[in-house]
Structure 1
Amino acid sequence: MEKFGKSQPVTRVEDARFLTGQGRYVDDIAPEGALRGHVFRSNVAHGVITGLDLDGARAAPGVHLVLGADDLAAAGITEGLAFNLVSNRDGTKGAAPRRPLLAEGRVRFVGEPVAFVVAETLDQARDAAELIEFDYDDLPAQMALATGGEALHPEAPTNRAFDWEMGDSTAVEAAIAEAAHVVRLTVADNRVIANSMEPRGCFAEMQGGRLHVSVNAQGVWGTKRNLARILGMKPEAIRVTNPDVGGGFGTKAMDYPETFLAAHAARTLGRPVRWMSERGEAMLSDNGARALEHDLVMSFDSDLRITGYRVDTRCDLGAYNSTMAQAIQTDLFSKVLMGTYDVQATYLHVEGFYTNTTQVDAYRGAGRPEAIYALERIIDRAARELGVDTWELHRRNFIRPEQFPYVSSTGETYDVGEFDRVLSRAEEFADRAGFAARCAESRARGRLRGMGLCYYIESILGNPSETAKVEFHEDGRVSIYVGTQSNGQGHETVYARFLADQTGIPMEMIRVIQGDSDLIANGGGTGGSRSVTTQSNATLATVSRMIEAFTPYLAEKMGVAAGDVGFDDERFRAPGSNLTPTLIEAAALARADGRSDLLVHEETATLPGRSYPNGAHVAEVEVDPETGEISVERYTVVDDFGNLINPLLAEGQVHGGVVQGIGQALWEHVVHDGDGQLLTASFMDYAMPRANDVPMFGFATEAVPSTANPMGMKGCGEAGTVGAMAATANAVADALWQAGVRQADMPFTPHRVWKMVNDGMASVG
């Protein structure tokens, strides 16, 4: 039998359900007669609350409950939202100001929840919110990534939340001082909004004395723990479910106030309460992403080998710490700080600042796209300044195959890698040899054409442990319960087919069940490109446990010794026995014999190490110098994902990730004014990439199987974004270099590019 792990493209089975309107999204499945929740939000970025009168709203038609911060406190809800902290350079912890569910005494960003209104209908809840009297005294908005200004929190009087470092600054400074060449570059990573197709939403209800919360998130167990903590309930009294989720990208990996507000309201009123964000509300309240400034320094010896790399970063946290905000641009960024290059002298210094804006947290890649963007931009700039081909500069500094396993300067153990081989495949696949002719053709039409290279590596993150449970049903069907949560990646197809190929159970007989804290004891949810790797590892462990459990039982049926029974991924067989049952047949025998212990099998497995997907992205763009318009003409990717489970789904993940990276480079950009008002609060002002904005992608793989898991896999969910930002930006920089532009950075919107071209030509002229 050909195993599924041998790269068989299998079309997603769940798409038929989604495309015919049969998806079960949270706003579709809310209980009949559920009350509607509406959030009253701050319309100012910074102010002291001098008055909040909710009586008018409470008296409005159809209203059942109106909550302010004082009401939560009176009900005993005093815990704030959870977050992680990093340590400062002096050993102290980063600032930890309380983040309340509803504003307490002060508002700190436009869109911050101030009150929660629950009514019979959404229109009634909105109308009631109009009757809330909200008075405040304005405070200056803090928007700069710098110390000073009006303090947002007493815990951070200068608005600096943390001051973190990793590496040996003395060694790096020595390398820079002794270098034959030193290259410096300042780049920024613009703020973006994820904008998943389905905005955030939830509903809550009481079920026989237990609280059930359904939320379109990226896992259930973290939410369950936080509900228990914030509401003061026992965990066993809470059930959390995730229905179908229309995109997450990290933005739905953490909890938001509305989940707890709806849960408290449902528990208080004894009726179901539902809340669903609208698009404009999402742009105000969903966590933003990226929002960094980097000062980069790279040193080289006379052979153009990199000898040192220093990164000084200022990152925007928004008004509060979100769940992973402090860790993303510090620890997670550091995982791939030096990328694929053999350099040990590195230093990363990061300062995080509070600003009067929405929080910043995880978005596809979470730290790794930011790190690779900075690294590959300065590598590209170095090649230009040092007069060497950028492809050659990459090759000269790659970690060589014989150096693996390789411990990076920040402590990551890369198990395998053949970077030159992957790059050579990309050079051929992208037809680099034909670029000069394409460049001349563009020039003849008055266009500037550029090619950009990015060689990325990323570190698969998240909990390395996962659980799988397999249950045999009386009708012959089989359920596999998983601890991850699909947000549109195709998990139902991948997990069912993987189990089918390990067991011989027909795929159509397998049902994948996810997102229910009552049905599986624990799980890590989805994030960090971990899902298929960790879940497949857990499935293998569960199958092994299953075979081990069935073997002695079937040996007795076969009349042979247990040691003689083998399983060939389809049937149990033993010499001297004509009985060759499949697992489904074995389960039917066990059921008939009353052996219920053989009908459910569960196992948790932990990966021994991370995997490190890597690859080359090659972008080609055309710039119209008259208008600043940029078109992406060609885009080629060659990835090393190790052994592919399903190449069709892997390519789809890369396509989506690449578009998100291109989107940030060329169009997407969050803009606030000096008072903290969001100026890009709708799709009229916030540009999203469309299908006709990107070309057909060239996608290929060069597999170097990982040694960090039994399948030889490397996660692929975020890799497209990790490589796309720098590849696109380097392509634009290459085109603009011809017009005398020496400082070019995202976002490359038409007006910014037009200004760069005109300023560049003026400086040359």
Structure 2
Amino acid sequence: MEKFGKSQPVTRVEDVRFLTGEGRYVDDIAPADALHGVVFRSPVAHASITELNVDDAREAPGVQMVLTLADLEAAGVRPGLDATLVKNIDGSKGAAPERPVLARDRVRFVGEPVAMVFAETLQQARDAAELIEFDYDDLPVCLGLEESETAIHEEAPGNLAYHFGMGDAAATDAAFAAAAHVVSLQIDDNRVIANSLEPRGCYAEPEGERLHVAINGQGVWGFKQTIAKALGLDPEALRITNPDVGGGFGMKAQDYPEYVICAHAARALDRPVRWMADRTESMLSDNAGRDLTSLAEMAFDDNHRILAYRVTTRNNLGAYNSGFGQPIQTELFSKVLMGTYDVQAAYMSVKGYFTNTVQVDAYRGAGRPEAIYVLERLMDRAARELGVDGWELRRRNFIPAAKFPYRTVTGELYDVGDFDRVLSHAEASCDRAGFAARKAASEEHGKLRGIGLCYYIESILGDPSEGARVTFDEDGGVSLFVGTQSNGQGHETVYARFLADQTGIPMERIRVVQGDSDLIAKGGGTGGSRSVTVQANVTLTAVAGMVAAFTPFLADSMGVEESAVRFDNETFRAEGSNLTPTMLEAAEMARAAGRDDLLRHEARDRLPGRSYPNGAHVAEVEVDPETGTVTVERYTVVDDFGNLINPLLAEGQVHGGVAQGIGQAVTEHVVHDEDGQLLTATFMDYGMPRADILPMFRFETEPVPSTANPMGMKGCGEAGTVGAMAAMGNAVQDALWDRGVRQADMPFTPLRVWSMLRDASQTAA
């Protein structure tokens, strides 16, 4: 462990900057003379455009440009955004209708961009946008997840975007036919809005013959590719930067129209432009998360061993394909389809539908929380119907530790795992033995108490390769250039600490440089919990290269053979020499000797395999049957993250993920009316999780070091959300079960829970 990090809880060095107002967020650092952009958005969910007149807006005070789709096309801009498609069960590709950056002939969701105004001040741009004449003929609004007579796109008859299948349907059907017991459950996964603390924004500015676009996103290279393609630019003529980013959660990883439009406007006007969404605009236009419903079925033998698993899902894509909208509930869902259970007969069938709502894409976990939610809710129901303990049912079906490495039914190769050990740790930590007494105490006060378990596993996603560069600077410090992008996770601390552990360079002398396509040759950005594992892996490679490069140079200085020189992670040493230079001292010796080639070291490496963090979440809730209010009383997490570089930051990531999972379970709920209007478009109507609904979390680890990377680490960025939803769902279901409630779906708002109890009471009567 010493070699790969001291595992010390180092506080985040970047927080001083953020908490004292020194953060460099995109809206803080936009050029002072930049024009302000305002997007004119569709006020209706589905309509044919009969008139779009921007003449008055163009003549308004301060206005420098108004853009429509026709203007962009006349200027040679390629107006569509690309998306990744999945294969249908017949081998064809999913539907790929155009997603224009500004509406073409028809609008398909409330908030769709129709035109964009650029003016000297924000108020002038807003005033001009109100002068745009927009008329339309209403079309039928489609919100349901079923085939409709009214197609939103000609390319998707009935609004069916794809029909995806994975697994062995015949083997699964045969196992169900032979089963002693079959359990099924319909499970809804409600739509949420990411609501990062900092809304989306960007600015664009000419830099001589080149163009610079700053985006508060989750990486630079995808945006560079998209904007260069749209504007017909040589990528080398474009510089993309990510300044400080106030939260991303997957939502900020994707392409959006505003970035392309601002880039074009800056080039066309030869002056800077800026755009920043307000909160309601974000709620209307940011990619949403989740939004699916699944029928989950499980077949068991007489010994309660799982024989087969079948999932039939319908998911909402929104009005268009976003970047990864199609793969999330299909390919990414399948990564952990069977979770931690030793089953080789499974089949999933997924139909994705276009609806007149904003697009749905990645939200913390991207498919894996959805898959685990379905699986673990079904495991809880199976235990009840089979009359067995849910914890023991899981243990009975866990992949045994002796079976690793283990190839799952959908082709994932789990490298290591000891799920029973982790679960036993969680059972002790949550004081499961004391639950009966706590339940009785709640009942004395007229409250219902429930306990819910979720055992999750997730698959680390994203590009397994990454680059790093280390330079020794003239001021005596070191710059570490990385290809990932922090959105608040603490990368500046983690990466600097890791490099310090490997080299002995004091952490305070290390500067982490990220988010600049001119400074970093290639990068995979942040997403899928990839950052620390891929970046630490290539940092090790860079350090090995540094040691190899310095060794012959120092051997000459020490007067020894090259083979005699050793580096002990702090100093170079050689028997027969009194010289013991540190890495910084070796760099200064090289600088003095004119060996500038030793002052810059670059590496690129690829992880040999993915890691699979896993763990147990245990939630305890109280329900007030008079009001339906759900209170989270206790929450325990025991995770297997392998070796940790910084336990403090890992715990912070888990806390944030659990808060988002509890938020979706208890307070967050996107609601549209029948006309497709978003009724939850402000914080007055959309229930963000607050401190007063969250308990103190108990977080512990039971590490089983990964063999898929030399550090033994497993990603932790999204794990908290992957486990939280099912733990909460099972806890609420447990609290309501004795009152006859058999179908408890998120969100567990007071009205919904009260209604569940009322309906169960009326049914019993």
TM-score range relative to shorter protein = over 0.9
CA contact (8 A) 1:112 1:285 kept: yes
CA contact (8 A) 1:79 1:229 kept: no
Instruction: Give the counterpart letter for 1:383 in structure 2.
Output: A
Instruction: Give the counterpart letter for 1:514 in structure 2.
Output: Q
SS in 2 for 1:28: helix
Instruction: Name the residue aligned to 1:677.
Output: 677
Q: Distance in 2 between matches of 1:558 and 1:80?
A: 62
Instruction: Name the residue aligned to 2:118.
Output: 118
CA contact (8 A) 1:340 1:399 kept: yes
Instruction: Name the residue aligned to 1:43.
Output: 43
1:341 aligns with 2:331: no
SS in 2 for 1:158: helix
Instruction: Give the counterpart letter for 1:471 in structure 2.
Output: T
Q: Say what the alpha-carbon RMSD is for the aligned residues.
A: 0.8
CA contact (8 A) 1:430 1:636 kept: yes
Instruction: Name the residue aligned to 1:546.
Output: 546
CA contact (8 A) 1:664 1:747 kept: yes
Tell me the alpha carbon deviations over residues 725-749 of structure 1, each in whole angstroms, 9 at most, x when there is no partner. Answer: 0000000000010111011111111
SS in 2 for 1:152: coil
CA contact (8 A) 2:250 2:362 kept: yes
Instruction: Name the residue aligned to 2:252.
Output: 252
Instruction: Give the counterpart letter for 2:757 in structure 1.
Output: V
Q: Distance in 2 between matches of 1:263 and 1:148?
A: 38
1:356 aligns with 2:393: no
CA contact (8 A) 2:4 2:711 kept: no
SS in 1 for 2:299: strand
SS in 2 for 1:293: strand
Aligned length, in residue pairs: 765
Instruction: Name the residue aligned to 1:315.
Output: 315
Tell me the alpha carbon deviations over residues 216-238 of structure 1, each in whole angstroms, 9 at most, x when there is no partner. Answer: 00000110111110000001100
Tell me the alpha carbon deviations over residues 311-335 of structure 1, each in whole angstroms, 9 at most, x when there is no partner. Answer: 0000000000000000000000000
Q: Distance in 2 between matches of 1:3 and 1:402?
A: 27
Q: Measure how far apart 1:764 and its partner are.
A: 2.4
TM-score normalised by the chain length of structure 1: 0.99
CA contact (8 A) 1:6 1:643 kept: no
Please give the residue correspondences for 1:157-236 in structure 2 after superposition, counting only pairs within 5 Å: 157-236=157-236
CA contact (8 A) 2:7 2:645 kept: yes
Please give the residue correspondences for 1:6-85 in structure 2 after superposition, counting only pairs within 5 Å: 6-85=6-85
CA contact (8 A) 2:218 2:487 kept: yes
Instruction: Give the counterpart letter for 1:696 in structure 2.
Output: M
Tell me the alpha carbon deviations over residues 310-364 of structure 1, each in whole angstroms, 9 at most, x when there is no partner. Answer: 0000000000000000000000000000000000000010000000000000000
Instruction: Name the residue aligned to 2:450.
Output: 450
Q: Measure how far apart 1:579 and its partner are.
A: 1.3
Instruction: Give the counterpart letter for 1:591 in structure 2.
Output: R
Instruction: Name the residue aligned to 1:533.
Output: 533
Instruction: Name the residue aligned to 2:611.
Output: 611
Q: Distance in 1 between matches of 2:476 and 2:172?
A: 64
CA contact (8 A) 1:4 1:497 kept: no
Q: Distance in 2 between matches of 1:663 and 1:569?
A: 44
SS in 1 for 2:158: coil
Tell me the alpha carbon deviations over residues 540-569 of structure 1, each in whole angstroms, 9 at most, x when there is no partner. Answer: 000011111111111111111111111010
Q: Distance in 2 between matches of 1:228 and 1:17?
A: 33
Q: Measure how far apart 1:255 and its partner are.
A: 1.2
Tell me the alpha carbon deviations over residues 588-639 of structure 1, each in whole angstroms, 9 at most, x when there is no partner. Answer: 1111121111111010110000000000000000001111000000000000
Instruction: Name the residue aligned to 2:464.
Output: 464
Q: Measure how far apart 1:209 and its partner are.
A: 1.1
Q: Distance in 1 between matches of 2:12 and 2:4?
A: 14
SS in 2 for 1:501: helix
Q: Measure how far apart 1:133 and its partner are.
A: 0.2
Instruction: Give the counterpart letter for 1:638 in structure 2.
Output: V
Q: Measure how far apart 1:3 and its partner are.
A: 5.1
Q: Distance in 2 between matches of 1:472 and 1:78?
A: 42
Q: Measure how far apart 1:171 and its partner are.
A: 1.0
Instruction: Give the counterpart letter for 2:156 in structure 1.
Output: A
Structure 2 stretches lacking a partner, 5+ long: none
CA contact (8 A) 2:73 2:79 kept: no
Q: Measure how far apart 1:79 and its partner are.
A: 3.9
Tell me the alpha carbon deviations over residues 162-213 of structure 1, each in whole angstroms, 9 at most, x when there is no partner. Answer: 0000001111111111100000100110000000000000000001111000
Instruction: Name the residue aligned to 1:563.
Output: 563
Q: Distance in 1 between matches of 2:710 and 2:197?
A: 35
CA contact (8 A) 2:383 2:393 kept: yes
TM-score normalised by the chain length of structure 2: 0.99
Q: Distance in 2 between matches of 1:612 and 1:738?
A: 36
CA contact (8 A) 1:142 1:149 kept: no
Instruction: Name the residue aligned to 2:384.
Output: 384
1:745 aligns with 2:745: yes
Q: Distance in 2 between matches of 1:520 and 1:413?
A: 32
Instruction: Name the residue aligned to 2:689.
Output: 689
Q: Measure how far apart 1:5 and its partner are.
A: 1.9
1:494 aligns with 2:518: no
Please give the residue correspondences for 1:357-436 in structure 2 after superposition, counting only pairs within 5 Å: 357-436=357-436
Instruction: Name the residue aligned to 2:760.
Output: 760
SS in 2 for 1:328: helix
1:646 aligns with 2:646: yes
Instruction: Give the counterpart letter for 2:469 in structure 1.
Output: K
SS in 1 for 2:665: helix
SS in 1 for 2:560: coil
CA contact (8 A) 2:5 2:502 kept: no
1:261 aligns with 2:261: yes
1:274 aligns with 2:271: no
Instruction: Give the counterpart letter for 1:589 in structure 2.
Output: M
Instruction: Give the counterpart letter for 1:112 in structure 2.
Output: E
Tell me the alpha carbon deviations over residues 463-500 of structure 1, each in whole angstroms, 9 at most, x when there is no partner. Answer: 00011100001111100000000000000000001000
Q: Distance in 2 between matches of 1:329 and 1:547?
A: 45
Q: Measure how far apart 1:2 and its partner are.
A: 5.0
Instruction: Name the residue aligned to 1:326.
Output: 326
Q: Measure how far apart 1:4 and its partner are.
A: 6.1
Instruction: Name the residue aligned to 2:476.
Output: 476
Q: Distance in 1 between matches of 2:511 and 2:309?
A: 50
CA contact (8 A) 1:202 1:216 kept: yes
Instruction: Name the residue aligned to 1:87.
Output: 87
1:109 aligns with 2:112: no
SS in 1 for 2:102: coil
